[in-house]
Copies of this chain bind each other. A is one copy, B any other.
Amino acid sequence: MRYSNDMQPVITLTSGPVNAYPDVLRGLGRVVLYDYDPAFQLFYEELVAKTQKVMGLSTRPLIMQGEPVLGLEAAAASLIATEDTVLNLASGVYGKGFGYWAARYTGNELHEIEVPYNEAIDPQAVAEMLRQHPEISVVCACHHDTPSGTINPINEIGAIVAEHGAYLIVDAVSSFGGMQTSPDACKADLYVTGPNKCLGAPPGLTMVGVSDRAWTKMKANERAPRASMLSILDWENAWSHKEPFPFTPSVAELNGYDVALDLYLEEGPENVWARHDLTARATRAGIKAMGLELWAADETIASPTTTTIRTPDGLDEQAIRDEARARYGVVFSSGRGETAGKLTRIGHMGPTAQPIYAIAGLTAYAGALNALGRKVDAGAGLAAAMAVIDAAN
């Protein structure tokens, strides 16, 4: 039997969207209240407070009404003024991509530290660049560059940037909720994340941590979007049940997101992080035991929320994913841009960050290789993954 393209897969092990938690899916179907109804406005105020708690923030965060690309674009557009000098850190396709937005808003040349897309940014390189370019006023960093499955040392980078005095924009979309990270810990001025990765909710919202000085800087930026879908500033006071919304918020998404936050808090963030980490470690152990190669140059930078596997020589990466889906009903993510074709990604996010899904992912990946004539010892891989899981018990 094969799962045809028009059949739904059995298990989605991607780097997002992943399927949402069942409770979140049902939460999406709560009654749609009028956004000006007092019950809704009170709900929204509580939701912002809950978001602050979940993000471990000392300041009030913002919920934006679109998936995190909205928040990222808005961050660049709002914080980066013409007179700013920007340093962009690129260790992957998403970090690199943010530079294009940054370049759009700065009036000066964009500085960039770029490393091979299977490596992480060296904080000392950032320190050195800032020493050489004291004019740098904004630094942009991607915590988890999803198309590479690699983690940058964001807290170390943040400390250096803070000492320098520059503003820091952090893309933590696919790390937040799946590992220990917070806006305060990395001293981010704008910290962009979303509910549609490790929190296990559908795509459609962005959460933004905003430092006090970021609010000041954005307000002073004449070109920061206002009266616009892209605006951060418009939403400054929307948290209050006494204030109107700039436009109709995505009520159903907020309803689902509320459940996702509750689940996260009830399970306990440390517990959630632990199962992401364990699932990723089991997956990596299995991959290595099958004689395959992790994409990350060094396993210490491998993401706990996504495992990236270098495409074995001579194989078509899409064919691997196609076979895994057709034979086992398991869906993986491909690379993006420069990493496309070079790697396959097995996501461990939210509801799929469970060790048993490491087994499912390894099986489907190994089965696909075998089907394509590249014989690997699947049994050895699975046994290695099981050993990791059992050791954590």
Contacts and interface: CB of A to CB of B under 8 A. Distances in A.
A363 B387 CA distance: 11
A251 B19 CA distance: 10
A5 B204 contact: no
A370 B386 contact: yes
Interface string A197-234: 00000111000000000000000000000011110000
Nearest to A10: B354
Given A26-B30, A67-B65, A380-B379, A248 B203 contact: yes
A100 to B, nearest CB: 7
Contacts of A366: 386
Q: Identify which of A67, A252, A377, A379 gathers the most chain B CB atoms within 10 Å of its CB.
A: A252
Contacts of A355: 1, 327-329
Q: Identify which of A27, A66, A196, A249 gathers the most chain B CB atoms within 10 Å of its CB.
A: A66
Interface stretch (A130-138, A180-188, A271-279): A271-279
A393 to B, nearest CB: 5
Contacts of A34: 12, 14, 16-18, 331, 333
A307 to B, nearest CB: 16
Interface string A350-393: 00001111011001101100110000011111110010011011
Nearest to A14: B34
Contact of A229 (B36, B73, B204, B326): B73
Contact of A386 (B196, B249, B251, B367): B367
Counted per complex, copies of this chain come to: 4
Nearest to A279: B1
A389 B328 contact: yes
A249 to B, nearest CB: 7
Given A10-B356, A28-B256, 13 more contacts: A9-B37, A10-B357, A17-B32, A26-B26, A34-B333, A37-B325, A70-B229, A202-B250, A202-B253, A328-B356, A371-B393, A377-B379, A379-B382
Identify the 3 closest CB pairs spanning chains A and B, nearest first.
Answer: A379-B379, A5-B38, A202-B252
28 contacts: A6-B42, A12-B32, A12-B37, A16-B34, A17-B34, A22-B29, A22-B31, A25-B28, A26-B27, A28-B256, A34-B331, A36-B334, A37-B325, A67-B247, A69-B247, A69-B248, A100-B227, A202-B252, A204-B253, A252-B253, A326-B393, A327-B389, A330-B356, A363-B386, A371-B393, A377-B379, A379-B380, A382-B382
